[in-house]
């Protein structure tokens, strides 16, 4: 046998063993034998570098580090699932599905565990893995191909036959519990920080710029569906689709099952609930999906979640612990949130030492006192909260909490409006706590996106009086930064670069970054779309503000207040003078339009509007509707029973959107990122 033949035989054999191990869960050789095959292949490749291939299993060790992750726009957004917390909510779900399917009884569902990991998308072109991406915000993720290639459960090329030429597989990256324990033991031995739970460890491991770090972490991929793929290539049922994915080389949940009707769903929930502790990985509920793919299409989506599927969550975990003290946290808008300081307790997979008490009224209602024994709840990534008190365990001398008259940080008066539950520090940006929060918000990912400007740094910058307003950030220099504790010259340089990069922004981001009360990202987008320029927004009166979709009296008043504060206008002027800029446009109501110059192709039946109406709306917003898909097409709008145009779009990588997203585009000129 020539070395070339031996190398290719070894590759096939190793991939076969990966498949048996990760997908079939039926290894047929020992780890030692596997290692022997692996080393033999490595040796051949070392002696004959010309035989090395990119998708050799030896190449899973990790490529060279990256400087940055490139953004990936998902051709079909990666949506979230609606949650059900009770049998009643599941019943309502089943009823909605049956109604949409003309009252059919005993609908078949694919029931699966809800994995507690990270969603990723794997793109295969002509059977080869060409791109792997994180979910990100559902619309745009990060290109982590080099990292995903290091997972042995991610096929580098598809097995078997019959796969479509372009296939996007979606699923979850996870750490199994025992691998998590091993990883933490290793971290301990090396004196490095331990991870709080498998999910966080998986997230940290996947978002590594150095793929060699990811390669050393035992991550696994488990598939639960597909993304952009031409339907013609797929079977009729979701459960069959998962079977097909197994044939093509992917692990799927061995606990998945086809069940029938509401009874089947609830029985499955009970069964998996029983097994939960003995499963090799963490789950936080189960997912029910209408099995019939054509039916799925008929049910479609509402806003960001499918109507054909639902997550039935397990109850949040609770624990009992001591309430040591109540402190106050000052938020960005001055809101004072009472926070319970707790004796450390392990709940929902992490050790919790503080929990929110929401506000003063809540504390009264639950009659929580310092020194009490309390019940704490934590679910998923949400902030832990104090659920209640074990009154019979109250010690003598347990103290009641009272809201102070002055802000604990800056001493300004604390005020509470009669119609509000929250008390606020009236210090505004005079209050260092509010200033810190405002700066963190300004720098956050969806605002100005200044990477590296985190809690600790902002703390030092504000406490050291180096930075008072966002505009001061653009005056920072290397000398000031390297004097700060724990900031190496390299990180300081990176931060300055990130600040410099942030100068080129969008109007939406800038408005959002200003941190105007009640103006979140969506409102910022509406305002940017409506006014097209910052000056027009700043000059707008109440009347004009109220013309913006979704802007009511409260939001309008917040904006007006913000704009009437000379200090705010001064900071804006300074930011502009420092070089912060964005492209301005005409107000969207005028000609030009939200989608000016963009080309759309329509296919299939849209849920609520006819084709002609859709065409009129697009043209009214400055767009063009064309009959054929080409590389120049900006969007294909697909409804039910789409034709070959959808296949063409998928083949060319043209973004495919639904009616809801079309409406969003027409209203705002962009898709929510
Ligand atoms: S299907 C259209 N199936 O849950 C919805 N998702 O809340 C597609 N997840 O980001 C999702 N296990 O990461 C689906 N068996 C499962 C899942 C699952 C976990 C995650 C997924 C998604 C989130 C949605």
Residue 466: strand, helix, or coil: coil
Q: Which residue has the higher pLDDT, 232 or 606?
A: 606
- Give the distance (Å) from ligand 1 centre to CA of residue 83: 11
Which residue carries 């107000």 as its tokens?
Answer: 587
Read off the pLDDT of residues 289-302 as tens digits, 9 standing for 90 and up.
999 999 998 898 87
In ligand 1, which atom is closest to the CA atom of 118? 13
Ligand 1 in contact with 667 (CB < 6 A)? no
Across residues 70-84, what is the average pLDDT?
Answer: 89
Q: What percent of the chain has pLDDT over 70?
A: 98
Q: What is the 3-state secondary structure (H, E, C) of 7-46?
A: HHHHHHHHHHHHHHHHHCCCCCCCHHHHHHHHHHHHHHHH
- Give the distance (Å) from ligand 1 centre to CA of residue 442: 31
Ligand 1 in contact with 114 (CB < 6 A)? yes
- Give the distance (Å) from ligand 1 centre to CA of residue 141: 15
In ligand 1, which atom is closest to the CA atom of 81? 7
- Give the distance (Å) from ligand 1 centre to CA of residue 81: 6
Catalogue the active-site residues.
114
Q: What is the pLDDT of residue 73?
A: 87
Read off the pLDDT of residues 167-190 as tens digits, 9 standing for 90 and up.
999 999 999 999 999 999 999 999
* pTM score, whole prediction: 0.68
Ligand 1 in contact with 80 (CB < 6 A)? yes
Mean residue pLDDT of the chain comes to: 91
- Give the distance (Å) from ligand 1 centre to CA of residue 605: 26
Q: What is the pLDDT of residue 593?
A: 67
Q: What is the pLDDT of residue 591?
A: 40
Residue ranges making up the domain that contains 97: 83-313
Q: Is the domain of 162 the same as that of 272?
A: yes
Is 496 part of any domain?
Answer: yes
Q: Is the domain of 326 the same as that of 226?
A: no
Residue 320 pLDDT more than 90? yes
Is 60 part of any domain?
Answer: no
Nearest residue CA, atom 16 of ligand 1? 114
Q: How far apart are CA 491 and CA 482, in angstroms?
A: 9
Q: Which residues make Cβ contacts (< 8 Å) with residue 645, sequence separation at least 6?
A: 601, 603, 628, 629, 636, 638
Q: Is the domain of 215 the same as that of 175?
A: yes
Residue 673 pLDDT more than 50? no
Select from 520, 549, 582 the last residue of a domain.
582
Q: Residue 365 has what DSSP assignment?
A: H
Read off the pLDDT of residues 267-281 as tens digits, 9 standing for 90 and up.
999 999 999 989 999
Select from 278, 313, 348 the last residue of a domain.
313
Read off the pLDDT of residues 350-374 as tens digits, 9 standing for 90 and up.
889 999 999 999 999 999 999 999 9
Is 65 part of any domain?
Answer: no
Q: Is the domain of 466 the same as that of 441?
A: yes
Q: Is the domain of 323 the same as that of 395?
A: yes
Read off the pLDDT of residues 1-31 as tens digits, 9 standing for 90 and up.
899 999 999 999 999 999 999 999 899 999 9
Ligand 1 in contact with 81 (CB < 6 A)? yes
Ligand 1 in contact with 658 (CB < 6 A)? no
Ligand 1 in contact with 172 (CB < 6 A)? yes
pLDDT tier for residue 590 given thresholds of 50, 70 and 90: very low
Enumerate the β-bridge partners of residue 290.
Answer: 109
Ligand 1 in contact with 221 (CB < 6 A)? no
Q: What is the pLDDT of residue 286?
A: 98
Ligand 1 in contact with 288 (CB < 6 A)? no
Is 592 part of any domain?
Answer: no
In ligand 1, which atom is closest to the CA atom of 305? 2
Distance between first and last Cα of the chain = 54
Is 69 part of any domain?
Answer: no
Q: Is the domain of 240 the same as that of 335?
A: no
Domain count, the chain: 6
Q: Is the domain of 405 the same as that of 528?
A: no
Tokens of 516: 């105007």
Read off the pLDDT of residues 96-140 as tens digits, 9 standing for 90 and up.
999 999 888 889 999 999 999 999 999 999 999 999 999 988 888
| Residues 413/426, Cβ–Cβ less than 8 Å | yes
Read off the pLDDT of residues 441-484 as tens digits, 9 standing for 90 and up.
999 988 999 999 999 999 999 999 999 999 999 999 988 888 88
Nearest residue to 12 via CA among 76, 55, 47 = 55
pLDDT tier for residue 380 given thresholds of 50, 70 and 90: low
CATH of the domain at 338: 2.40.50.140
Is 77 part of any domain?
Answer: no
Q: How far apart are CA 249 and CA 244, in angstroms?
A: 9
- Range in 202-206, 404-408, 589-593 the model is least confident about: 589-593
In ligand 1, which atom is closest to the CA atom of 114? 12
Is 491 part of any domain?
Answer: yes
- Give the distance (Å) from ligand 1 centre to CA of residue 176: 18
Ligand 1 in contact with 83 (CB < 6 A)? no
Q: Is the domain of 543 the same as that of 497?
A: no
Enumerate the β-bridge partners of residue 172.
Answer: 119, 222
How is 375-425 classified by DSSP, letter by letter? EEEE-TTSPPEEEEE-GGGPPTTPBPP---SB-TTT-PBEE--TT-S-EEE
Residue 383 pLDDT more than 50? yes
pLDDT tier for residue 525 given thresholds of 50, 70 and 90: confident
Q: How far apart are CA 66 and CA 144, in angstroms?
A: 10
CATH of the domain at 518: 1.10.150.20
Residue 390 pLDDT more than 80? yes
Q: Is the domain of 421 the same as that of 433?
A: no
Distances (CA, A) of 514 to 436, 498, 500, 566: 13, 18, 18, 14
Using CB atoms within 10 Å of the CB of residue 653, give its burial: 0 to 12 exposed, 13 to 18 middle, 19+ buried.
middle
| Residues 107/299, Cβ–Cβ less than 8 Å | no
Is 59 part of any domain?
Answer: no
Q: How far apart are CA 383 and CA 350, in angstroms?
A: 12
Across residues 65-82, what is the average pLDDT?
Answer: 87
Across residues 337-349, what is the average pLDDT?
Answer: 92
Q: Which residues make Cβ contacts (< 8 Å) with residue 573, sequence separation at least 6?
A: none
Select from 524, 556, 582 the last residue of a domain.
582
CATH of the domain at 642: 3.40.50.10190
Q: Is the domain of 155 the same as that of 94?
A: yes
CATH of the domain at 280: 3.30.470.30
Q: Is the domain of 518 the same as that of 495?
A: no
Q: Which of 76, 81, 117, 303 to mutate to test the pocket of ligand 1 (most atoms within 8 A of CB)?
A: 81
Ligand 1 in contact with 22 (CB < 6 A)? no
Q: What is the pLDDT of residue 595?
A: 85
Q: Is the domain of 253 the same as that of 160?
A: yes
Q: What is the 3-state secondary structure (H, E, C) of 136-204?
A: CCCCEEEECHHHHCCCCCCCCECCCCCCCCEEEEEEEEEECHHHHHHHHHHHHHCCCCCCCCHHHHHHH
Q: What is the pLDDT of residue 592?
A: 53
- Give the distance (Å) from ligand 1 centre to CA of residue 114: 7
């Amino acid at each position: 046998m020539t070395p070339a033949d031996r190398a290719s035989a070894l590759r096939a054999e190793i991939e076969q063993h990966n498949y048996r191990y990760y997908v079939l869960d039926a290894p047929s050789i020992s780890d030692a034998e596997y290692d022997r095959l692996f080393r033999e292949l490595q040796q051949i490749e070392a002696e004959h570098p010309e035989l090395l291939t990119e998708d050799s299993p030896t190449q899973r060790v990790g490529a060279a580090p990256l400087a940055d992750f490139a953004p990936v726009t998902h051709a079909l957004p990666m949506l979230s699932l609606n949650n059900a917390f009770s049998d009643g909510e599941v019943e309502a779900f089943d009823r909605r599905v049956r109604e949409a399917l003309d009252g059919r009884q005993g609908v078949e569902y694919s029931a699966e565990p809800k994995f507690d990991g990270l969603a990723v998308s794997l793109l295969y072109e002509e059977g080869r893995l060409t791109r792997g991406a994180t979910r990100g915000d559902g619309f745009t993720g990060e290109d982590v191909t080099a990292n995903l290639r290091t997972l042995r459960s991610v096929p580098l090329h598809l097995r078997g036959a019959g796969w479509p030429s372009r296939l996007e597989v979606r699923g979850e990256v996870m750490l199994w519990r025992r691998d998590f324990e091993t990883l933490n033991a290793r971290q301990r031995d090396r004196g490095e920080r331990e991870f709080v739970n498998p999910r966080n460890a998986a997230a940290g491991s996947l978002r590594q710029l150095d793929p060699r770090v990811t390669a050393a972490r035992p991550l696994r991929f488990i598939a639960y569906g597909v993304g952009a793929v031409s339907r013609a290539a797929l079977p009729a049922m979701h459960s069959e689709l998962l079977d097909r994915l197994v044939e093509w080389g992917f692990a799927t949940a061995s606990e998945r099952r086809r069940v029938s009707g509401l009874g089947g769903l609830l029985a499955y929930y009970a069964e998996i609930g029983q097994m939960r502790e003995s499963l090799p990985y963490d789950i936080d509920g189960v997912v029910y999906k209408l099995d019939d793919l054509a039916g799925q299409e008929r049910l479609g989506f509402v806003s960001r979640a499918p109507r054909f599927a639902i997550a039935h969550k397990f109850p949040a975990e609770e624990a009992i612990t001591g309430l040591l003290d109540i402190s106050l946290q000052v938020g960005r808008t001055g809101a004072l949130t009472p926070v319970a300081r707790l004796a450390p307790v392990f709940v929902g997979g992490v050790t919790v030492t503080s929990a929110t008490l929401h506000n003063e009224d809540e504390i009264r209602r639950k009659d929580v006192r310092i020194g009490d024994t309390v019940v704490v709840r934590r679910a998923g990534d949400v902030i832990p909260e104090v659920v209640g008190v074990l009154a019979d365990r109250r010690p003598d001398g347990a103290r009641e909490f009272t809201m102070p008259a002055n802000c604990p940080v800056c001493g300004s008066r604390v005020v509470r409006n009669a119609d509000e539950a929250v008390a606020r520090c009236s210090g505004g940006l005079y209050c260092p706590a509010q200033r810190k929060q405002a700066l963190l918000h300004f720098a956050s990912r969806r605002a100005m996106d200044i990477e590296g400007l985190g809690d600790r740094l902002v703390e030092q910058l504000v406490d050291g009086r180096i930075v008072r307003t966002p505009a001061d950030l653009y005056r920072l220099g290397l000398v000031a930064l390297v004097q700060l504790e724990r900031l190496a010259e390299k990180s300081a340089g990176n931060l300055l670069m990130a600040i410099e990069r942030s100068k080129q922004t969008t109007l939406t981001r800038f408005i959002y970054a200003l941190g105007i009360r009640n103006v979140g990202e969506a409102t910022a987008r509406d305002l940017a779309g409506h006014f097209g320029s910052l000056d027009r927004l700043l000059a707008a009166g109440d009347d004009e503000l109220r013309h913006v979709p979704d802007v009511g009296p409260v939001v309008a008043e917040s904006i007006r207040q913000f704009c009437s504060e000379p200090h705010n206008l001064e900071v804006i002027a300074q930011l502009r003078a420092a070089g912060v800029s964005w492209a301005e446009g005409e107000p969207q109501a005028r000609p030009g339009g939200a989608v000016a110059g963009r080309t759309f192709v329509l296919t299939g039946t849209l849920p609520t509007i006819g084709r002609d109406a859709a065409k009129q709306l697009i043209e009214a917003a400055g767009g063009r509707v064309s009959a054929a898909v080409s590389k120049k097409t900006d969007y294909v709008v697909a409804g039910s029973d789409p034709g070959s145009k959808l296949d063409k779009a998928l083949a060319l990588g043209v973004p495919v959107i639904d009616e809801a997203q079309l409406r969003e585009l027409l209203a705002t000129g962009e898709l929510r990122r």
